[in-house]
Chains A and B, each alone.
Chain A
Amino acid sequence: MTETAAPLADAPYLDVADPAFSIRSQAVKDARAQSWYARTPYGIAVLRYDEVQKLLRHPKLRQGSHLWPQHNGVTTGKFATWWCNMLLCQEGETHGRLRRMANPAFSPKLIADLQPKFQALANRLIDQFAAKGECDFIADFTEPYATGVICDLLGLPFEKWRELADIAADMGLALGVTFKQDLPKIEAAIARLFAYAEELVADRRAHPSADFVGMLVKANTENKDQLSDQELLDMIVLAIFGGIDTTRNQIGLAMDMFVQNPDQWALLAERPDLAKAAVEEVMRTRPTVTWVTRAATETFTFNGLEIAEGTTLHLYGQTAATDPAVMPDAERFDITAERKPHFGFGGGAHHCLGHFIARGDMTEALKLLASRLKNPRFAAPVEWLPDSGNTGAIRMPLAFDPA
């Protein structure tokens, strides 16, 4: 049965553009209790589980990031060209074709081989600060770890991580409010990323291999009409762009949840087999991607609400997955609980392509961190990105008892 929704003007209003807005605020919870959607300065916010689940796969919605450069007055240059052509911004046939070509490189079998490398990387980073009993968890762990994982994936030596992290950070400026002003920096960064990608491709053409880049090069060599030389490079750049900040932020958010729930950290240290479930529970309660963006390709009615062509919808995965109406104890952080699936990797056609990698590397990281850092607590206030959109910590001064 579809419930009849209130007319749009009566729906709760959320001032998402206010820098102080928090997606975990009481205002959002109240709105969720009142209505499945809210009005925002950007469009419609979808707040409940079933609606988010259904709209993530709705055939009349497309991924909504394709107009981002244009909205910011950026229509030419390497970044805008890459953005508009890469997987996330494609739909239908082209999206399917690119995804089919990329799938083998992201296969769970390929990722399983990287697991020992993830462990070695995590241990190596923890070794550098463990004895001190303190660290900046972001600068000393999550950032080099997230970037190191991408180095492992691409077959680059770990020593490249700083350079890659800096390039990724400059690229990340493209997602911020100062996109246009930062354009020269962003263009320089993406030019360097493409240079990296070209080098990697040239290497695998000369020395074919079955690793991540090797699989993409193979797809390109065997099916030029399905994955062009340019699309191959675009995909490698996307993996670097899409994989670093997300992972860095998500592991920082995991630590935040465990600092708030010390009993769960102690439990994880005792039972490392829970690390996989812990990743899921973190992403349910504290995802870095708090919403995904969709746009209506034509006017349609959903749950009694008419959604006009061109409307932007933000699907609030975090709000939906912590709704007490669909989950008992939804706000409690419990790594042993059976939960409904979360939306931290999105869903539908654009479901995160790197999720096997991300799940694998975060599982190994949490396991080792819990066994080596006892009783973690904040040594000074954490510096946060805004608590909406893609969120996370910028600085996280952490004190702990070395194991």
Chain B
Amino acid sequence: MKVHVDMSICLLHGQCVIAAPEVFSFDDDGGLVWVKEIGEDLRADTEAAADACPEQAIVLEG
């Protein structure tokens, strides 16, 4: 599954980091980084993150 974050609407709340810490994280400058392509084992967590994102900035494909 492909993971996109629309950085034009992401407000860096970090709810995705809470929901799926193996996929999303903050770098040292506080920027959001994420795994762009994930396996089945992380699907449930990543979907939970997309659901929880307050700005609904996360788009999943596949």
Q: Is B3's CB within 8 Å of the partner chain A?
A: no
Cβ < 8 Å to A, chain B residues 1-47: 11-15, 18-19, 21, 30
Given known A-B contacts A103-B48, A107-B52, A355-B54, A347 and B11 have beta carbons under 8 A apart: yes
Q: Which chain B residues border A71 with CB–CB below 8 Å?
A: none
Q: Is A204's CB within 8 Å of the partner chain B?
A: no
| Chain A 342-369: CB-based contact to B (< 8 A → 1; otherwise 0) | 0001011101100100000000000000
Q: Main secondary structure on chain B at its contact with chain A?
A: loop
Q: Are A107 and B15 in contact (CB under 8 A)?
A: no
Given known A-B contacts A57-B12, A57-B13, A341-B11, A107 and B51 have beta carbons under 8 A apart: yes
B15 to chain A, nearest CB (A): 6
Query: From A348, which residue of chain B is reached at the shortest CB distance?
Result: B13
Q: Are A351 and B12 in contact (CB under 8 A)?
A: no
Q: Are A57 and B30 in contact (CB under 8 A)?
A: yes
Q: Which chain A residues border B51 with CB–CB below 8 Å?
A: 103-104, 107-109
Cα distance, A96 to B56, chains bound together (Å)? 19
Q: Is A99's CB within 8 Å of the partner chain B?
A: yes
From A57, A103, A351, contact of B19 by CB (8 A): A103
Number of A-B contacts (CB under 8 A): 44
Contact-size category for B? 10 to 19
Q: Are A103 and B52 in contact (CB under 8 A)?
A: yes
Given known A-B contacts A103-B19, A341-B11, A351 and B54 have beta carbons under 8 A apart: yes
A279 to chain B, nearest CB (A): 14
Q: Which chain A residues border B55 with CB–CB below 8 Å?
A: 341
Q: Is A205's CB within 8 Å of the partner chain B?
A: no
Q: Is A332's CB within 8 Å of the partner chain B?
A: no
Q: Are A349 and B18 in contact (CB under 8 A)?
A: yes
Cα distance, A95 to B54, chains bound together (Å)? 17
Q: Which chain B residues border A106 with CB–CB below 8 Å?
A: 52
Q: Is A100's CB within 8 Å of the partner chain B?
A: yes
From B12, B14, B19, contact of A100 by CB (8 A): B19
Q: Are A100 and B54 in contact (CB under 8 A)?
A: no
Given known A-B contacts A57-B30, A107-B52, A99 and B14 have beta carbons under 8 A apart: no
Query: From B15, which residue of chain A is reached at the shortest CB distance?
Result: A351
Cβ < 8 Å to A, chain B residues 48-62: 48, 51-52, 54-56
Cα distance, A108 to B58, chains bound together (Å)? 13
Known: A103-B52, A104-B51. 12 other contacts (CB 8 A): A53-B11, A57-B13, A100-B19, A103-B19, A106-B52, A107-B52, A108-B56, A345-B54, A347-B11, A349-B13, A351-B13, A352-B54
What are 25 A-to-B residue pairs whose CB atoms are below 8 Å? A53-B11, A57-B13, A57-B14, A57-B30, A95-B18, A96-B18, A96-B21, A99-B15, A99-B52, A100-B48, A103-B48, A103-B51, A103-B52, A104-B48, A107-B51, A108-B56, A347-B11, A348-B12, A349-B13, A349-B14, A349-B15, A349-B18, A351-B13, A351-B54, A352-B54
B residues contacting A by CB (< 8 A) are: 11-15, 18-19, 21, 30, 48, 51-52, 54-56
A-B complex: 5 closest residue pairs judged by Cβ atoms: A96-B18, A103-B52, A107-B51, A351-B13, A351-B54
A residues contacting B by CB (< 8 A) are: 53, 57, 95-96, 99-100, 103-104, 106-109, 341, 345, 347-349, 351-352, 355
